[in-house]
Amino acid sequence: MTASLKDTLFVATQYLTPHHALSRLTGWFAESEFGPIRDTFIRRFARHFEVDMTEAERPELSQYRNFNDFFTRALKPGARPLPEDSKALACPVDGTVSQAGRVESGRIFQAKGRSFTATELLGGDSEQARRYQDGHFATLYLSPKDYHRIHMPCDGTLVRTTFVPGRLFSVNAVTTDRVPRLFARNERLVCEFDTERGRMVLVLVGAMIVASIETTWAGVVAPYQRDIIQHRFDEPALRLERGEEMGRFRLGSTVVMLFEKEAVQWADGIAAGARVRLGQSME
């Protein structure tokens, strides 16, 4: 079987897979503290994906109470220093740049001629999307072996969050190339911040077998109702500093960043396929 045919079958089966049921089942195993299940999951995963534990705050696999505890492991203090320039935008994750560029005519480039609108990504809020017309975006993919906590790229005050229900397609390179409007179809949490650069959005995109998305202010985001749910944060204001943790994925996924026009200018190294590390300068 050719690689192309394998990829086609892989994508085709995802349209038939019960995404949420599979993710809930995986989530149950990932939360299990039963020794044989926990140890088997963690050991096999770490070996298969060649997870580097030398930077982890708890480097021994036996130190984790369940798979989710292992997967969302913390790094050692100082493992990801911030840019020396206090105004520089810091990368919010360890991962790979899927795409980065300008929001052109209200659309965000996905891959191979595919794109989606900012309005779709933000859950249908055209007024919110207009802020990012001619702005800049960066889509950052977190592979299974990566560190899976998300940190603030700059100081910001949380304005609102919007939970957008949807599918849970895989978000690897194969599906990104082949599934139309992938990041505007998957379940996601839109987090909008007020910053010195203007408004900024971090969209935490769910994916196949992602047990849940979690934020530092609300915990696990897993509503049973399948409707768009918005929360505004007026008083008291929730302020997060550059480099501070704001969320995490319980199994891997993608973060989409949006900035208003002229707010950022990506460095040459912020381009499709580039590996990035938490804390590195993106400008």
Find out whether 250 and 209 touch, Cβ atoms under 8 Å: no
Q: Among 155, 223, 157, which Cα is nearest to 189's? A: 223
Q: Which helix (H) or strand (E) holds 198?
A: strand 198-205
Active site residue 48: no
What are the percentages of helix, strand and coil residues in the chain, rounded to 5?
A: 25, 30, 45
Active-site position among 23, 94, 155, 212 = 94
Active site residue 227: no
Active site residue 94: yes
Q: Is 69 exposed, middle or buried (0-12, 13-18, 19+ CB in 10 A)?
A: middle
Q: Quote the CA–CA distance of 36 and 41 in Å, as a whole number.
A: 8
- Cis, peptide link before residue 236, omega less than 30° from 0: yes
Find out whether 206 and 184 touch, Cβ atoms under 8 Å: no
Q: Quote the CA–CA distance of 60 and 43 in Å, as a whole number.
A: 11
Active-site position among 151, 155, 170, 212 = 151
Kindly list the catalytic residues: 94, 151, 253
